[in-house]
Structure 1
Amino acid sequence: MSGLDLAQFKTLIVRPVVSALGPGEGAVNLLTGTALVESGLAYLAQIRGPALGLFQMEPATHDDCWQTWLRYQSATAASLLQVCGLSSPPGAGAMVSNLRYACAMARVKYLRAPPSLPDASDAAGLSAYHKQHYNTPLGAANATRNAALFQQAIDA
């Protein structure tokens, strides 16, 4: 499978989003690893399902982020739109063509999770956090197996 260069993705897409939405290196590694797990940095749409973008977010989740959280977080919403080069909230389809937007929406999903992020260099902890707060316990991700992908994200 081919895909994007991991170091470039982390530097040019993920870091600017985390700089705008915060906080820190743990979020950079969490988001980079999430994209690796969800799409292999290769798929812009789920093969057999509705999920979109490199972070494979379902349109219903995207819409819920705007309707039940971002609409009440005006500063975060404004920062999100600015870092993504947008003037107003787009539809879920924008996650396919705007890589920063897809990343920002994944960051919003994680911002809604109550526990603090694991240490930025803890691949197993980041993978478990992804499984619990992004993929969900019913999802197909395997936190133990995916720890190697989070280690790649840390090392990039």
Structure 2
Amino acid sequence: MTEKKLLNRSDYKKFYSMTSRWRDNDVYGHINNVTYYSYFDSAVNQYLIENSNLDIQKSDVVGYVVHSNCNYLSPISYPELIDTGIIVIKIGNSSVTYGIGIFKSGETKVSAYGEFVHVFVNRSEKKPVPIPEKILKSLKQILI
């Protein structure tokens, strides 16, 4: 985990909005912890699709999640408009570490934050490869 806690909206460079779903809630009346990881995954992939022209079904190189973590600070419940903020914390040869923040719409403090690590692999061989230039260029746009 990065030493810098990414707690404020101003810590993030790109945002994606979505509405929580009824099924996201658990018996305790708030969004279940595992659901946050799907929010992380959705935001990162939307960024890659929009900014790198990643074709998740046909690209020769794809990102596999090898690590993720999440810290929960305040609950969110259905129905809620959620903003997911993303940045890039670190770029390696074949890997990238994203910082992700989950916000209630309009809030400046995160409800949850964490990291999400992709290793880029050749789709057919499933072996790590250097990050393709088009993807690398888009990742650098949100690097802190």
Normalised by the length of structure 1, the TM-score is 0.29
Larger helix proportion, structure 1 or 2? Answer: 1
Structure number with greater Rg is 2
Normalised by the length of structure 2, the TM-score is 0.31
